[in-house]
Amino acid sequence: MSLNLDLRAAEAKVARATEHYRTLEREMLADVTKTDPYHSEFTNVDPQTGWCEVWLVPNGDVEKPRLGVMLGDIMHNLRCALDYIVTELVKVSNAALSTKHQFPIYRDEQVYKTNVGEIGAPLATGPLRFIKYGDGLIESLQPYKLHPEPRHDPLWVVHRFSNADKHRQVAAAHLPPQPGQLQIHFNGTLVDKIDGADNPTWKPKDKILMASLRFDPPIATNLRTEGQVTVRVGFYTETFGAEPEQRIDLGVLGDACDHLSMVIEQFKTL
């Protein structure tokens, strides 16, 4: 027997999230293109060793809160779409909808079972309380089931950024610089150069070491860079509760919208 779930509200939320994503993509890429988010700075050449450093330094409001607010709109709509699925499952189960009902998202199987229950036997105190249908499909869609690194699963990304947006702060634009196209120029004799290493703990307001240079004799003038800093475009949210910081590229949002559409289609088959 088909459940004939009415998932139009969930579909509308995903459609709205997709509209927000396309707008955000256009505005974010346009913003990055028209403004240079970084400038270069040189330290003084050490008169003893001849070493100096070249840094990339953020310009202005690199976190771009307005873009983070738009991200929050996307995550809110996607999170609602999932919860609306549970609302329909409550309805066809002839159960009473409560504020505790929601689509559970976990990246650990044992934690899921502890908080949600076993398939066919959801906990009476859990987010799927008194639901008779669909809990097996919900469990099969969990990040620990579908992704080798559950933190990067689309459902977990929605859960993580939605919670941070509601309870902590607006996500920051994540624009890590890719300085490879910049050329360093100077008047002097360069005898050694060490390129800056990737910094996995980089945060939006941090400056980043581009290179270390050594001159012999320890003198250099007219230090400058030419070219434009390219950036990866995405978002960053800081540590929240037990969850570590998380970074996503802009395209992940489009993937999440597509993934939620696929999830809804699966529930239509019940």
Neighbours of 212 (CB within 10 A): 15
Rounded to the nearest 10 degrees, what angle do helices 154-167 and 251-268 cross at? Answer: 110
Contact by Cβ (8 Å): 158, 49: no
The predicted pLDDT at position 76 comes to: 96
Sheet holding 246-249, edge to edge: 172-174, 234-237, 246-249
pTM: 0.86
* Angle between helix 251-268 and 8-34 (nearest 10): 170
DSSP state of 240: B
Closest by CA to 165, choosing from 79, 258, 61, is 79
Secondary structure of residue 102 in the 3-state scheme: coil
Question: Distance between CA atoms of 234 and 24, rounded to whole angstroms?
Answer: 11
Q: Is the distance from CB of 13 to CB of 77 less than 8 angstroms?
A: yes
**CA triple 55-246-13, angle to 5 deg:** 125
For residue 60, what pLDDT is reported? Answer: 74
In this predicted structure, what is the pLDDT of residue 167?
80
Print pLDDT tens along the chain (270 aa): 689 999 999 999 999 999 999 999 999 888 877 777 888 999 999 999 999 999 999 887 767 888 899 999 999 999 999 999 999 999 999 999 999 999 999 999 999 999 999 999 999 999 999 999 999 999 999 999 988 899 999 999 999 999 998 887 888 888 887 766 788 999 999 999 998 877 777 787 888 898 999 999 999 999 999 887 888 889 999 888 888 889 999 999 999 999 999 999 999 999
- What three-state secondary structure class fits 53? strand
Token pair, residue 127, equals 């987010």
Q: Cα angle at 253 between 259 and 168, to 5 degrees?
A: 115
244 and 231 in contact (C-beta within 8 Å)? Answer: no
| CB 186 within 8 Å of CB 224 | yes
Read off the amino acid at residue 190.
L
Whole-number pLDDT of residue 180: 64
Residue 19's SS3 state is helix
pLDDT at 139: 97
